Structure 1
Amino acid sequence: MTTFEHPWGQLTLQRWPLRRNEPLQAWDNADLYLLNTLKARAAGPLTLVVNDQQGALALAASQHGPVISSGDSFLASRAQVHNCDLNGLPEQGAPLWPFDNLPESPDQVIMRVPKSLALLEWQLQWLSEQLARGTPVWLAGMDKHLPRQLVPLMQQYLGNGRAELGWKKARLFTASAPGERLAVAPYPTEVEGPMGPLTVHAGVFAQQQLDIGARFFLAHIPSNLPPGAKVADLGCGNGVIGLALLQACPDSHLVFCDESWLALQSARDNVARYCPESDSEFYLGDGLAGHDERFDLILLNPPFHDGHVVGDHVARRLFRQSKQALNVGGELRVIGNRHLGYHKLLGKLFGKVEVLGSNQKFVVWRCM
Structure 2
Amino acid sequence: MTDAIFQASVGELALVRPGGSPGLRAWDAADELLLDAAATRLQPESRVLVVDDQFGALTLGLAGHDVCTLADSAVLPNSLAANVARNPGLSVNLSVMNWRSVPSGPFDLVVLRIPRQAAYLAWILRWINGVLADGGQILAGGMIKHLPDRSVEVFSEAVVTDEVLPARKKARVVVCHGGSALVREWPDQWKGYRLEGALSCRVEALPAVFARDRLDIGTRELLPLIPEAVARVPERGRILDLACGNGVLGLSALARRPELEVHFSDVSSQAIASVERNLSSLPGSPTVQLWHQDGVADEAPDYDLILLNPPFHEGGVVGDHIALRLFRDAARHLAPGGRVLMVGNRHLGYHRSLKKYFRNVSQKVASPRFVVFEASREP
Q: TM-score range by the shorter chain?
A: over 0.9
Give distance in 2, aligned partners of 1:355 and 1:227: 26
Q: Match for 1:129: what amino acid?
A: G
What is the alpha-carbon distance in structure 2 between the residues aligned to residue 269 and residue 50 of structure 1?
A: 23
Cα distance in 2, alignment partners of residues 329 and 181 from structure 1: 50
* RMSD across aligned positions (CA): 1.8
Name the counterpart of 1:2: 4
Deviates more, 1:304-313 or 1:345-354: 345-354
Conserved 8 A contact 1:133-1:179: no
Structure 1 counterpart of 2:202: 197
Residues 285-324 of structure 1 show CA distances to partners (whole Å, capped at 9, x for unaligned) of: 1211323301111111100011111000000000011111
Match for 1:13 among 12, 15, 36? Answer: 15
Question: What is the Cα deviation at residue 101 of structure 1?
Answer: 4.5
Kindly report which structure 2 residues correspond to 1:289-304, keeping only aligned pairs within 5 A, or say none: 289-304=297-312
- 1:339/1:148 Cα in 2 relative to 1: closer, same or farther (>3 Å)? closer
| Corresponding residue for residue 146 of structure 1 | 147
Q: Count the aligned residue pairs.
A: 365
Q: Which runs of 5+ in 2 are unaligned?
A: none
Write out aligned runs for 1:1-368 (5 A). Answer: 1-17=3-19, 22-43=22-43, 44-63=45-64, 65-88=65-88, 89-98=90-99, 100-178=101-179, 181=182, 184=186, 186-194=188-196, 195-221=200-226, 222-224=229-231, 225-368=233-376
Distance 1:185 1:40, change over 3 A: farther
SS of 2:280 mapped into structure 1: helix
- 1:207 counterpart SS class: coil
Residues 174-215 of structure 1: per-residue CA shift (max 9 Å, x gap): 111247739626111122223221111111000221111111
Inter-CA distance 212–96: structure 2 relative to 1 (3 Å threshold): same
Q: Percent identity?
A: 33
The 1:339–1:261 alpha-carbon spacing in structure 2 relative to 1, beyond 3 Å, is same
| TM-score, length of structure 1 as denominator length | 0.94
Deviation at 1:361, TM superposition (A): 1.4
Q: Kindly state the Cα deviation for residue 72 of structure 1 after the two structures are TM-superposed.
A: 0.6
Q: Secondary structure at the match of 1:165?
A: coil
The farther-off stretch of 347-356 and 80-89 is 80-89
Residues 101 and 280 (structure 1), Cα distance of their counterparts in 2 relative to 1, 3 Å cut: closer
Q: Contact 2:105 / 2:131 at 8 angstroms: preserved in 1?
A: no
Cα distance in 1 for partners of 2:76, 2:100 equals 18
CA separation of 1:148/1:210 partners in 2, compared to 1, >3 Å: closer, same or farther? closer
Q: How far apart, CA to CA, are the structure 1 residues paired with 2:101 and 2:362?
A: 44
CA contact (8 A) 2:100 2:269 kept: no
Question: 1:227 Cα shift?
Answer: 2.1
> Does the 8 Å CA contact 1:133/1:178 hold for their aligned counterparts?
no
CA distance in structure 1 between the aligned counterparts of 2:265 and 2:289, rounded to whole angstroms: 9
**Deviations for 1:109-159, whole angstroms, at most 9, x for unmatched residues?**
111101221111110000111112220111111111113422322221124
Counterparts of 1:98 and 1:286, CA distance in 2: 16
